[in-house]
Each structure stands twice: as C-alpha cells, then as structure tokens.
C-alpha cells in the first residue's frame, strides 16, 4: 500500500510539472494568434504616401476633390479646343464659299438687261424692311387678303418679336386688270424703308449689321434712356450709315489690335484655361497673386466690376466675357500720353479662353473710391467736375473717346486731398480709338450716341467727341441733384431742366447754368476748347 502511494504521488508530481511547463507555451501561442487576427479599422493604403507620410481623411477628401476638378477642367478645355477647331473649319468653309460666289458672273445684271430689252417692267430692288405696326394704317383694309386666282405683287412675311416684317415685291403682270407697265412702286408707308446692300459689306461689316439688328450692344445705357420702346423705335429708323459698321464690335476690335503691339506689353498675360469664377467674398489667383474679392460694384451684363484686395493694395477688377484686351489697350494709351502718368493706376490684363480680367492697382498712398461716395456739397462736386473735365480733355488730346461716361463706370483715385482726386474710367466697352478707327467721323456711327440724336441734342453729322460732352453733363447733373438730367430747349438752346430759367440766383447756380448750356450746345466748337474754358471757370470759382 505504501508503495502504491509513492507511485501515485510521483505520477501526480510529474503531471503537475508537465502542465506548469506547458502553460507558458500556451500563452505565447494565444498572443501570436491575437496579433495575427488584429486589423486596422481603416485602409491605410489609401492614406499612405511616398516617404511614409499618412494623410488625414480630410486631406484625402480634398485630394480627391482637386483631382475631380482637374479632370473636369481638362474635359472642358478639350471641349473648347474642339469647338474652336470646328469654328475654324466652318470659317474656312465660309471663306471658300464667299470666294466661289465672287468668282461667279453677275447673273442679276444680265437678267435685268434682258428684261429691259424685252420691254417688261424691271424687277423690284433688293428687299426692304418695314415696321408693320406703323405701316398698317397706310395699308388698305380691303387689300389684306389677295384673291386666290391672282399672284400677289407684295409678299409679307410674318413679323418677329420686334415687329419687323419683310416685304418682297414681284413685278406686276401685264395682263392684270388696271395695271400699267410702270406701276411697280410700293405703297406709301409712314416709315422710310432701309435698303440692305449686302454686296458692298465685308464679312466683319455684315456681322456688325446682324448684331445691331438683334439689339446687341457692347456698351451701357445712358441715364437718358428711360423708355426702351422709344429707343427701339429710334433703332428702327436709324440711318444706314449708322448701322453699317459698329466700331465697338468684337471682330472689329480684334482686327484693330492685331495691327498694334498691345500683346508685347509685360502687363498682358495669356493663360490657356477658361475664365475662373470670380465671386463675392471669395478669392481668385491671377499670375501668382491671390486677389480677395470683396463686393460687386457694377453688373453690366457681359461684364462685372469687383472691389478686391491683395496683401498690399486695394484693387478694382473688371471681369468680362470677351477675350479682347480693349480696356487694357485704351487705358495704356491714356497713360502713355498723360503728363502725370505716375499718378495713374497700374493696369494688368489676364486673357483666358473665354474672357479676360483687367486689374487696376492704385499708385502708392492712393486708394479707389466711388464717384458718388463724396460730400454732396457744391464744393466737392465742383472738384470732381474739374477732374472729369481734365479726364475728357486728356482723352480727346490723344484721340480717344469714352462714349459712355456715367458715375457707375468711373472711379476716384485719391490721396486724401480732395483737390488732387483723379477721375478715371474702369470700363471702356463703348470707347473708340480714333487713331486706329479713322473712319469714325460722326456721332451717328456710335451706338451710345443714338439716344442723343433721337432727342435732338446732337445732329447725326456732329463730331464724335460731342458724345463725351453729353456724358459729362449727365454725370455732373447726377452728382449735383442725385437725379437724372432732363434736357429742355428754350430760345437760347438746350439746357438741363433744373438749371433753366433766368431768375436771380447765387454765383454757383449761375456757373452751373453756363456749365450745362456750354456742354449741350457745343455744335460747331472744338471739344477741347469747351472743356478748357469750363475747367478754367470752375477752377476760378472753387479754388
């Protein structure tokens, strides 16, 4: 029995020792198995970059967003390049057809000679445009619907939304009842038709005619244009010379700038990308500089003007949908011919595939303010009127026309001293360079002058510089009275309604009466003479 107990005891001891040796090995095995099953809660492969740098989820999301935006921009650029190529091919095809058409013999001339030899009545001239709303009264009501067994002499096409219709004349048939060989004249209408002679127009001129007929205007409206219906009626009755070539048309300006050296300027930058989005309370990068956009001060439809800032200066940015640096060219011309160029802002232009951005940066110790942000006293307005007269004198001295002067398109570049303020344009959409556009010799060729012509303030043959004198009068009147100018005519000529009359008044009112009469009755005088005399009179009064 005692031997059995010794045997069992030794067996138990050996088993206990074996288990104690086995437990550490079991712990190591569980730890290795746990390490093998342990996995990260997210995929590190997407976050790890070269060099072992690990991005955050926000950085990864931003990276993917930028990549998506880059792909969209590349696709848009590709689409624009394809569209440009298609337009180029279409233009080449149009040129080929035009050359082919010019090479063909003039068949209409041959047909007219044959008809004259045969004794038949000549065919009607080129088709004419009538205003059906005004000509309906002159048209007999019984002749509105011709009988079905007759060929109508006059075919009217239905008018479009502007009330225009086309009237095509056919030669009268000799066997018609009551008809004579000479009875081919159209009925009398209250509005004179305007014949269209496309054969004498170049492709650029034809484009300008189409743009003017569709109501396309690159400029802005004058404060006098209060009634659109009257302006539309005036457009219908405009002379053919005024509608022949629009000097503000983009094709005309592009051709003019191709002849100049504007592209060689170091402040003109071209970028092969679409126009970036410019929005309030946002930023835009141009030429390595970041511009913070504060607010939009002008919304001109095809362009906008924004207040902005860099780290060093406040700036003004004009963002336009036309990729022609016309504003840059005009302001550079003004600055080049100015005797005080150091006091003028620095202008930079950034060209894109579908637009451009013009940046005005004030000189050191200067700042931009709106023209209407001033003391409405006569003294303050007098200083600004002197600056405006000086601006227009400088423009006309270097043969530039602004042609759309109004407070919203002008800015003050000031140093804190009111008498040293400089009034400058920040939009040149309606402007003309008379050195490059020597064919512009009268106001009837300027789209922005048509309102003044229709009111009788200007004759169609008046010099083009007089349109700027109208703009000076309107701008100063708005600064003085905070209301639009209403021109009236009395025995002495034109004047502003609020400054008409001859009753006794103070010296300031007398000065403003002379001011408006001089500007609104400048026919037959040099614009530089009128501006110089008014500037001298105002300087004597307000200094």
Angle between the N-to-C axes of helices 507-520 and 527-542, in degrees from 0 to 180, rounded to the nearest 10: 170
Q: What is the mean pLDDT of residues 196-203?
A: 43
pTM over 0.75: no
List where CATH 1.10.510.10 sits in the chain.
255-361, 367-542
Q: How far, CA to CA in Å, does 60 sit from each of 40, 43, 65, 445?
A: 17, 12, 9, 59
Residue 479 is inside which H or E element, if any? Answer: helix 466-481
Q: 3-class DSSP state for residue 270?
A: strand
**What does the block give as tokens for 390?**
């000086």
Give 353-380 pLDDT, tens digit per residue: 999 999 999 998 899 999 987 667 888 8
Whether the per-residue pLDDT at 241 is higher than 80: the answer is no
Q: What is the mean pLDDT of residues 46-63?
A: 79
> Mean pLDDT in the chain?
76
Whether the per-residue pLDDT at 226 is higher than 70: the answer is no
Q: 3-class DSSP state for residue 442?
A: coil
Dihedral (Cα; 478, 479, 481, 484), 10-degree rounding: 0
CA 507 from centre of chain: 42
Give 419-433 pLDDT, tens digit per residue: 668 999 999 999 999
Whether the per-residue pLDDT at 344 is higher than 60: the answer is yes
What is the CATH code for 255-361? 1.10.510.10
Residue 515 CB contacts under 8 Å (≥ 6 apart), including other chains: 385, 473, 476, 534, 537, 538
Burial 120-135 (b: 16+ CB within 10 A, else e): ebeebeeebebbbeeb
Q: What is the mean pLDDT of residues 268-290?
A: 94
Whether the per-residue pLDDT at 136 is higher than 50: the answer is no
* 369: β partners: 412
Residue 471 CB contacts under 8 Å (≥ 6 apart), including other chains: 222, 402, 403, 404, 405, 406
Q: What is the mean pLDDT of residues 204-224?
A: 47
* CB 165 within 8 Å of CB 159: yes
Whether the per-residue pLDDT at 272 is higher than 90: the answer is yes
CATH fold of the domain at 367-542? Transferase(Phosphotransferase); domain 1 (1.10.510)
pLDDT of residue 244: 65
Q: 3-class DSSP state for residue 535?
A: helix
Residue 422 is inside which H or E element, if any? Answer: strand 422-425
- String of DSSP letters for 334-357: HHHT-TTGGGSPEEEEEEETTEEE
Q: 3-class DSSP state for residue 409?
A: helix
Residues in the chain: 543
pLDDT of residue 203: 44
Rounded to an integer, what distance in angstroms lies between the CA atom of residue 315 and that of residue 306? 8
Give 484-509 pLDDT, tens digit per residue: 999 999 999 999 999 998 888 899 99
pLDDT of residue 222: 58
Query: Highest mean pLDDT: which of 35-49, 84-98, 223-237, 425-439?
Result: 425-439
Whether the per-residue pLDDT at 36 is higher than 70: the answer is no
CA 384 from centre of chain: 26
Give 66-89 pLDDT, tens digit per residue: 999 899 999 999 999 999 999 999
Rounded to an integer, what distance in angstroms lies between the CA atom of residue 17 and that of residue 464? 117
Question: Other CB atoms closer than 10 Å to residue 213's CB: what's the count?
Answer: 15
């Amino acid at each position: 029995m005692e031997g059995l107990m010794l045997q069992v005891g030794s067996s138990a001891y050996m088993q206990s020792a074996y288990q104690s040796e086995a437990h550490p090995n079991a712990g190591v095995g569980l730890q290795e198995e746990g390490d093998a099953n342990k996995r990260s809660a997210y995929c590190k492969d997407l976050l790890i970059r070269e060099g072992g740098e690990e991005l955050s989820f926000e950085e990864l999301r931003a990276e993917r967003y930028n990549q998506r935006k880059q792909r969209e921009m590349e696709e848009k650029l590709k689409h624009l390049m394809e569209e440009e190529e298609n337009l180029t091919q279409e233009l080449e095809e149009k040129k080929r057809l035009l050359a082919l058409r010019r090479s063909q013999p003039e068949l209409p001339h041959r047909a007219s000679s044959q008809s004259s030899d045969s004794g038949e009545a000549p065919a009607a001239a080129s088709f004419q445009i009538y205003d059906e709303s005004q000509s309906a009264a002159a048209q007999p009501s019984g002749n509105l619907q011709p009988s079905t067994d007759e060929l109508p002499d006059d075919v009217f096409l239905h008018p479009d939304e502007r009330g225009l219709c086309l009237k095509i004349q056919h030669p009268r048939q000799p066997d018609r009842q009551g008809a004579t060989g000479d009875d081919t004249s159209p009925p009398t209408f209250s509005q004179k038709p305007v014949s269209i002679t496309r054969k004498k127009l170049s492709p650029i001129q034809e484009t300008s005619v189409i743009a003017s007929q569709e109501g396309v205007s690159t400029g802005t409206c004058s404060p006098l244009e209060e009634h659109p219906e009257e302006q539309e009626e005036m457009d219908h009755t405009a002379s053919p010379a005024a509608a022949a070539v629009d000097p503000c048309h983009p094709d005309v300006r592009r051709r003019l700038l191709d002849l100049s050296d504007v592209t060689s300027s170091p402040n003109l930058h071209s970028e092969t990308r679409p126009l970036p989005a410019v929005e309030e309370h946002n930023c835009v990068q141009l030429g390595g500089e970041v511009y913070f956009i504060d607010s939009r001060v002008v919304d001109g439809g095809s362009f906008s003007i924004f207040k902005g800032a860099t780290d060093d200066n406040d700036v003004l940015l004009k963002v336009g949908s036309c990729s022609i640096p016309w504003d840059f060219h005009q302001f550079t011309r003004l600055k080049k011919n100015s005797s005080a160029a150091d006091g003028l802002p620095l202008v930079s232009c950034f060209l894109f595939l579908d637009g451009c951005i013009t940046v005005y940066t004030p000189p050191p110790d200067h700042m931009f303010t709106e023209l209407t942000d001033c003391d409405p006293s006569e003294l303050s307005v007098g200083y600004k009127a002197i600056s405006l007269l000086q601006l227009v004198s400088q423009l006309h001295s270097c043969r530039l026309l602004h042609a759309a002067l109004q407070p919203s398109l002008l800015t003050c570049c000031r140093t804190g001293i009111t008498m040293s303020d400089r009034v400058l344009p920040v939009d040149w959409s309606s402007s003309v360079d008379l050195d490059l556009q020597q064919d512009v010799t009268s106001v009837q060729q300027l789209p922005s002058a048509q309102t003044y012509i229709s009111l009788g303030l200007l004759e169609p043959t008046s010099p083009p510089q007089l349109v700027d004198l109208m703009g000076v009068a309107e701008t100063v009147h708005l600064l003085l009275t905070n209301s639009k100018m209403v021109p009236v005519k009395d025995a002495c000529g034109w004047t502003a309604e609020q400054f008409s009359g001859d009753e006794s008044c103070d010296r300031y009112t007398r000065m403003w009466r002379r001011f408006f009469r001089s500007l609104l009755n400048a026919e037959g005088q040099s614009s530089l003479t009128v501006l110089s005399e008014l500037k001298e009179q105002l300087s004597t009064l307000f200094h």
